[in-house]
Amino acid sequence: MSEIQSLNTANGRRIAYAKTDGQGPTILFLSGLKSDMEGTKAVALEAWAKAEGRAFLRFDYSGHGQSSGTFAEGSIGDWHQDTLAVVDQLIDGPVLVVGSSMGGWQALLLARARPGRVVGLVTIAAAPDFTEDGYWSGFSQAQKAELDREGFVTLPSEYDEDYIITKRLIEDGRDHLVLRSAMRLNMPVRFLQGTEDTAVPTAQAVKLLEHVEGNDIRLTLVKGADHRFSDDECLRTIQKMVKVVLARG
């Protein structure tokens, strides 16, 4: 395991990260909502990168893991700023981004914001625009009224403690949507999706594939895999796709 270090950003946040030196491009892992850099996929990919002599970096968004802040105060835009700070201040040269769930949305935002830096993209159960298409569209009128009145609603989670979904998270999410306007990805892209994922349906993965434009974009469906996508076979699939993107980049 790499040593945990800290980056103090211009926004006053302290971002915890672990960086491994090696051959570039640097593989950057972007975790999902309320996940952190100690998750199975992040740690396993780091171990693989070390064995391959590859540069690698994992980190915690603000309000996640070992970074400063609280989850309920954060937003998609805040975590995008955290990602940009990590890329701009901690990584030299090209980046191959691996994004899981909400990290897939963050990966797409990063590719849009730093097209000259991102040379490859691998996503796992990518969840772009989920604050609008998942939360907001799924809220009842009573929940929408509660959100407006209280500033938040509480949702149960099958993975962790209940989620506090704030009005700010929903409204800020609308400023960072990626499926409402054209998006071209001029790099090799591999989307991974489990068919038993109950958090991000397969139809969402197909929607993303059809939306983005590019000459080297593929979607791989793994029958039986769930949203965690963390058993041994899934982890090997992630590594395989990273190798494919490295070879084609």
Active site residues: 101, 197, 227
**Closest residue by Cα to residue 238 from 220, 212, 211:** 220
> Considering Cα of 49, then 38, then 57, then 122, what sign does the dihedral take?
positive
Beta-carbon contacts of 242 under 8 Å, excluding residues fewer than 6 positions away, are: 27, 45, 48, 96, 98, 122
Rounded to whole angstroms, what are the CA distances from 199 to 101, 125, 129, 184?
Answer: 9, 9, 13, 26
CA 45 to chain centre: 14
Show the tokens assigned to 245. Answer: 């993107």
